[in-house]
């Protein structure tokens, strides 16, 4: 039972949406009336009832501006997390240490992400993968890698590790085996890297990857 909306109903719907973008409260019946060139409030009410019946919005009776958009029209007022994005990381540099305290809210580029990507982690930040050195089997050029700052990785976790001798950051699975760190590519075809523990520093734990094609 997919009802097609009349032109007027579409108009009303987009009007409400636009109104909510400009103000922070819903429009009144009369706002909609003048905004959509409707000659009577009862017509607005009539169409609002239809929109409500078909699940496009919800109305609170007897309440002024008691309109709530539903479904795809619903404005998402929701918990998401702004994470700083470190860009322009030179290929051979360690990641600059970034925490809540020292990242500049004004100058740093940020991205708002759904909470589920960050849940339970602290100070998550993003790094845009550039060039080949950071690429692993399931991470490729252009990916946005989400990292949780840490210096102590648990064996098996994928981490961003700064390898002093190579002067580079790499993304690998981390294993500390009596004094030596084994950095294991996820790609089984690639050989692991062995580094003395004091020549490698863990900079973050990979908590997510986001790739946008095009």
Partner DNA sequence: ATTTATACAGAACATACGTGCGCAAACCGC
Partner DNA sequence: GCGGTTTGCGCACGTATGTTCTGTATAAAT
82 Cβ contact list (under 8 Å, min separation 6): 110, 111, 112, 113
Closest CB to its own copies among residues 195, 206: 206
Q: Does 85 bind its own copies (CB under 8 A)?
A: no
Nearest to 198 by CA among 152, 164, 175: 164
**What is the C-alpha to C-alpha distance for residues 163 and 36, in angstroms, rounded to an integer?**
63
Distances (CA, A) of 127 to 4, 51, 107, 120: 45, 44, 16, 19
CB crowding 126-145: b at 16 or more within 10 Å, else e: bbbbbeeebbbeebeeebbb
Query: Looking at 74, 121, 133, 201, which residue is catalytic?
Result: 133
CB crowding 108-121: b at 16 or more within 10 Å, else e: beeeebeeebbeeb
Residue among 37, 39, 62, 116 that touches its own copies (CB under 8 A): 116
Is 133 known to be catalytic?
Answer: yes
Q: Does 24 bind its own copies (CB under 8 A)?
A: yes
143 with 132: CB under 8 angstroms?
no
Q: Does 55 bind its own copies (CB under 8 A)?
A: yes
Residue among 9, 12, 19, 26 that touches its own copies (CB under 8 A): 26
Contact characters 132-171, its own copies, x per CB under 8 A? -----xxxx--x--------------x-------------
**In the complex, least distance from residue 1 CB atom to DNA, rounded to whole angstroms:** 12
Residue 68 binds what, of DNA, its own copies, none (CB under 5 to 8 Å, by partner type)? its own copies
**In the complex, least distance from residue 51 CB atom to its own copies, rounded to whole angstroms:** 14
Residue 46 binds what, of DNA, its own copies, none (CB under 5 to 8 Å, by partner type)? DNA
Cα 158 to chain centroid, rounded? 20
Residue among 64, 87, 99, 151 that touches its own copies (CB under 8 A): 64
Residue among 32, 48, 67, 169 that touches its own copies (CB under 8 A): 67
Terminal-to-terminal C-alpha distance of the chain = 36
**In the complex, least distance from residue 51 CB atom to DNA, rounded to whole angstroms:** 11
Site for its own copies, rule CB under 8 A: 2, 20-21, 23-26, 28, 55, 60, 63-72, 74-80, 82, 100-102, 105, 111-114, 116-117, 137-140, 143, 158, 186-187, 189, 205-214
């Amino acid at each position: 039972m997919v009802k097609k909306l009349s032109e007027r109903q579409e108009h009303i719907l987009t009007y409400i949406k636009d109104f909510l973008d400009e103000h922070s409260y819903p429009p009144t019946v009369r706002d909609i009336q003048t905004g959509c060139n409707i000659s009577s409030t009862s017509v607005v009410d009539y169409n609002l009832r239809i929109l409500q019946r078909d699940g496009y919005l919800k109305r609170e009776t007897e309440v002024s501006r008691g309109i709530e958009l539903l479904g795809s029209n619903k404005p998402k007022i929701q918990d998401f997390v702004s994470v700083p994005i470190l860009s322009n990381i030179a290929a051979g540099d360690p990641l600059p240490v970034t925490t809540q305290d020292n990242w500049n809210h004004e100058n740093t580029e940020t991205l708002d992400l759904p909470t589920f990507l960050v849940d339970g982690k602290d100070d998550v930040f993003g790094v845009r993968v550039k060039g080949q050195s950071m690429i692993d089997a399931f991470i490729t050029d252009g990916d946005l890698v989400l990292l949780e700052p840490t210096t102590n990785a648990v064996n098996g976790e994928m981490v961003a590790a700064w390898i002093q001798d190579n002067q580079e950051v790499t993304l690998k699975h981390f294993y500390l085996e009596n004094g030596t760190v084994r950095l294991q590519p996820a790609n089984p075809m690639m050989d692991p890297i062995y580094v003395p523990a004091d020549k490698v520093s863990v900079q973050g734990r990979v908590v997510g990857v986001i790739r946008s094609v095009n």
